[in-house]
Amino acid sequence: MSTEKNKEKPIELYYWPTPNGWKISIMLEECQLPYEVHYIDILKGDQFEPEFLKIAPNNRMPAIVDHDGPDGKPVSVFESGAILQYLGDKTGKFYPSDPRTRIAVNEWLFWQMGGLGPMAGQAHHFSQYAKEKIPYAIERYERECGRLYGVMNKRLANHEYLAGEYSIADMACFGWIIPYKRQGQEIEDFPHLNRWFKAVGQRPAVKRGTAVGEEFRRKPSDLKDNDTAHDLLFGKGQEKRV
């Protein structure tokens, strides 16, 4: 049974200002849910701290703790897609209950989780962060990003948003389009995607969500030239700390 004390506690958001982090800050802002941010500085290794690993065993942010969980007791959720689904079910917002519409939302949410995010992340890595430039890798992932942009562009030619109405699918994808230049793309080459990108970006909650922790955003060179941070994210530092 939910208690008034639990209901009064804000959701705890474990976060860093990245495309995956933005998904959840945007959703919390869209749903007008009170939340408290715990910054997980991934360049200092905060993601390996034992307390964080209790709620995020994959040592990746974002994660949340909702003190007013489904049974009125605290619950933690990790993985950004799962968090979006959880918050959608909790609030009844941006995650429709109609089975057919929900199928479409899930399709595009998992498309982002399994395709757009990983491919864009690899494009960022090899073009911006890798200490050794590997032309084949850069071309490989930039081409794949271009293909995925084309998939979105085609879908958005006949739909205002990815699943029809604005949903968690759009929130999931939006943050990964923000750094399109790092992925070797020109947004103007995809007119329907560009229209969607501008429309989503003008939403007040999206502006607030992507501004959370903006002061902590770093340039790629800040990471590339920092051996300790580079190892924590991409090297042997991960293996030793998990």
CATH number of the domain enclosing 47: 3.40.30.10
What pLDDT score was predicted for residue 207?
98
Q: How far apart are CA 169 and CA 167, in angstroms?
A: 5
The mean-pLDDT minimum among 171-180, 208-217, 218-227 falls in 218-227
CA dihedral over 100, 105, 88, 113, signed as positive or negative: positive
Q: How far apart are CA 199 and CA 174, in angstroms?
A: 10
Domain count for the chain, please give it.
Answer: 2
199 in a domain, yes or no? yes
What pLDDT score was predicted for residue 83?
98
Which backbone phi and psi does 38 adopt, to 5 degrees? Answer: -110, 110
> Please, what is the Cα angle at 88 between 47 and 101, to 5 degrees?
125
Predicted TM-score of the model (pTM): 0.92
25/81 same-domain check = yes
Q: What is the pLDDT of residues 134-186, one digit of tens each?
A: 999 999 999 999 999 999 999 999 999 999 999 999 999 999 999 999 999 99
181/117 same-domain check = yes
39/140 same-domain check = no
Q: What is the pLDDT of residues 44-78, one digit of tens each?
A: 899 999 999 999 999 999 999 999 999 999 999 99
In the predicted structure, residue 228 carries a pLDDT above the cut 90: no
63/157 same-domain check = no
* CB-based contact 169:155 (threshold 8 Å): no
What pLDDT score was predicted for residue 131?
86
In the predicted structure, residue 123 carries a pLDDT above the cut 90: yes
Q: What is the pLDDT of residues 8-20, one digit of tens each?
A: 899 999 999 999 9
147/111 same-domain check = yes
The burial of 186, by beta-carbon neighbours within 10 Å (0-12 exposed, 13-18 middle, 19 or more buried), is given as: exposed
176 in a domain, yes or no? yes
Q: What is the pLDDT of residues 24-40, one digit of tens each?
A: 999 999 999 999 999 99
181/155 same-domain check = yes
12 in a domain, yes or no? yes
From residue 193, alpha-carbon distances to 118, 147, 153 in Å are 19, 13, 5
8/72 same-domain check = yes
Q: How far apart are CA 193 and CA 154, in angstroms?
A: 8
156/230 same-domain check = no
127/202 same-domain check = yes
DSSP assignment of 98-127, as one string?
SHHHHHHHHHHHHHIIIIIHHHHHHHHIII
Q: How far apart are CA 242 and CA 239, in angstroms?
A: 6
87/129 same-domain check = no
Say how many C-beta atoms besides its own lie within 10 A of residue 31's C-beta.
Answer: 17
Question: Range of 70's domain?
Answer: 4-94+219-241
214 in a domain, yes or no? no
190 in a domain, yes or no? yes
Domain harbouring 156, CATH code: 1.20.1050.10
- Side-chain half-sphere exposure of 193, counting CA atoms within 13 A: 21
Q: How far apart are CA 176 and CA 173, in angstroms?
A: 6
124 in a domain, yes or no? yes
SS3 state at 61? coil
Q: How far apart are CA 242 and CA 140, in angstroms?
A: 30
Q: How far apart are CA 20 and CA 108, in angstroms?
A: 15
87/21 same-domain check = yes
Q: What is the pLDDT of residues 80-97, one digit of tens each?
A: 999 999 999 999 999 999
Of the candidates 15, 47, 12, 9, the one whose C-alpha atom is nearest the C-alpha of residue 212 is 15
106/37 same-domain check = no
Which backbone phi and psi does 37 adopt, to 5 degrees? Answer: -90, 130
